[in-house]
Structure formats: structure tokens, C-alpha cells
Amino acid sequence: MEKKFVMKTGGCICGKVKYKVKLDEIPKVFNCHCVDCRKKLGGINSIIALREGALEIDKKELGVYEHPGGSGNKLKKHFCKYCAAPIFSYVEKFNTTYLYAGLLDDVSILKKAKNIHYKNSHFPFMKINEDEISN
Ligand SMILES: [Zn+2]
Ligand SMILES: [Zn+2]
């Protein structure tokens, strides 16, 4: 069966960064509970794993913060230079770009998410069903 894709748009708070992204009809969404995301955003982080070349974006208004992840591989976080909204991160370990789901203009297709890094660092007030946890 042929894969179905949908084109979506998104952007930051101040409007200087806008993008188009090609998503799978059922995107791969993760809620990341890791300490790193928590410190970056102040809470849990919903991200979408993108296929190569899926994101069309003008990078000139983006700031980049690069640091080693837990595994020692590079993480490159891209954010709006003006309003600091997180746009996407590149994770060298998986050679994958992850889009911050909350910046999509329309989130209606994000119907399911797996929770990652839940067991080691979730907020105690956050209760999630076993079948929605992947590690
Ligand atoms: Zn902005
Ligand atoms: Zn994380």
C-alpha cells in the first residue's frame, strides 16, 4: 500500500520562523520526559520524528545550541532567535530530525503518542497507562 502524507504548516510565537512539513498520515509522536527536555522547555516535550527532507524551512532566523546527549552523540537544537520558541532538534545518534509538535498550526492529526524516558524521570503527578509507555 502506498504511504499517505499530509502537508502541514507551523511557526514560532513571534512569527519570524515559519515552515512547511510533510508528515505521515499517522505521525510518529513521542512525549519525551527526559531531564534534558524538561530543562529546555520547563515540562514534557512532544516531538514528531520526521522523514529525511520532510521539513522546508528558512534557517536564517534560527539559533542553534549544540550539546552532547546522554549517549555522547550530538544534539543540535534549533530555536527562533527572537522569541526562543523551539523549532526542531537533530539527534545524531538516530540521524533523525524531531519537530516540536506544539508549533504546528493544526495539531488535529496527532492522535497518538508514545511516552519515552518516562520511567526514569517523569513528574510524579503525571500518570500514564502502561501501553502508552515505550521506555
Ligand atoms: Zn519567533
Ligand atoms: Zn527529551
72 lies in a domain?
no
Q: How far is the CA of 12 from the centre of ligand 1 (A)?
A: 4
Per the structure, the complete domain to which residue 100 belongs is given by 5-60+96-129
Tell me the C-alpha distance between 21 and 117, whole Å: 26
Q: How far is the CA of 35 from the centre of ligand 2 (A)?
A: 7
68 lies in a domain?
no
Q: How far is the CA of 61 from the centre of ligand 1 (A)?
A: 8
Q: How far is the CA of 117 from the centre of ligand 1 (A)?
A: 28
C-alpha cell, 34? 527526559
41 lies in a domain?
yes
Q: How far is the CA of 55 from the centre of ligand 1 (A)?
A: 17
Is pLDDT above 90 for 70?
Answer: no
Is pLDDT above 80 for 56?
Answer: yes
Give the whole-number percent of the chain exceeding pLDDT 90.
77
44 lies in a domain?
yes
* Tally of domains within the chain: 1
Is pLDDT above 70 for 53?
Answer: yes
87 lies in a domain?
no
Greater pLDDT, 37 or 2: 37
**Secondary structure element (H or E) that encloses residue 74, with its range:** strand 74-80
Q: How far is the CA of 95 from the centre of ligand 1 (A)?
A: 26
Q: How far is the CA of 92 from the centre of ligand 2 (A)?
A: 14
103 lies in a domain?
yes
In this prediction, residues 29-36 reach a mean pLDDT of: 93
pLDDT class for 1, splitting at 50, 70, 90?
A: low
Is pLDDT above 80 for 135?
Answer: no
Tell me which residue has cell 552532547: 68
Q: For position 40, what pLDDT does the model report?
A: 87
Tell me the C-alpha distance between 98 and 49, whole Å: 5
